[in-house]
Chain A
C-alpha cells in the first residue's frame, strides 16, 4: 500500500514563527499536494507539485511556500505563522493525478 507520512500529528506554534510541515511518500508518485481542511469549507488546495523542484499555486497559496528537493518529500512552509492558519493540514500524493492517497494530517494551532 502507498503510504503518505506526515511528520507531526499535532503542532502548536507562536504567531510569527516560521513553520515547516513535512510529508514523505513511499511509492514514487510524481504528484504531491498540500490541502488545508476547515469546518464548512472542505479541503482547499494550497500548493501542488508534479515533479521535483516544480511547484504550482493552488487556490489559497498566500502565506505559504513549498519545497520539493526530492521526489518523495514535499514540505509546506508557513513563512510567518498567523492565527488564521490554525487548521488541519493534509498532504497527498498520486501517480496519475486521480485518486489521491492522503496522509493522516497535521493539526496546527497558532497561538
Chain B
C-alpha cells in the first residue's frame, strides 16, 4: 500500500516550457512534504519543501503547491531547462523529527533542448 504515489513514471517537456510533476498521498497525518531531485549515479538532493499550514512555496524556478483536501501536491518548474532532466521524488512525513519519511516511486523528467 503506497502512501505516496507518483503516477507518472516519466514526463517529457520542451526547454522553456513548464514542467508539472504530480504527487498524491493517502495519509492525512502527513504534515510536511518535500521534493528531491536525483541525477544518475548520485544520491537524491533536497529541492523544496512545504508545510501543511501553507498551500504554496516558491524558490526561484521551482514552486510546490499543496491541496490538502485533495491530498495532492505538485511541483512546477518554470522555465524548464535541460539541466532539470532528472528523477524527481515526492516525499511526506508526519509529526516532529521527520522520521520515517515516505517516498514516492519517482518521475523521470526529460527536458528537450
Binding site for B on A (CB under 8 A): 4, 9, 31, 35, 40-45, 48, 50, 56, 58-59, 90, 92, 94, 96-105
Contacts and interface: CB of A to CB of B under 8 A. Distances in A.
A43 B100 contact: no
Given A97-B96, A97-B98, A103 B43 contact: yes
Contacts of B97: 31, 50, 96-97
B99 A50 contact: yes
B93 A98 contact: yes
B49 A99 contact: yes
29 contacts: A4-B43, A35-B103, A42-B104, A42-B106, A43-B89, A43-B91, A44-B103, A45-B100, A45-B101, A56-B99, A90-B44, A94-B98, A96-B98, A97-B93, A97-B97, A97-B99, A98-B93, A98-B98, A99-B46, A99-B49, A99-B98, A100-B44, A100-B46, A101-B46, A102-B36, A104-B41, A104-B42, A104-B43, A105-B42
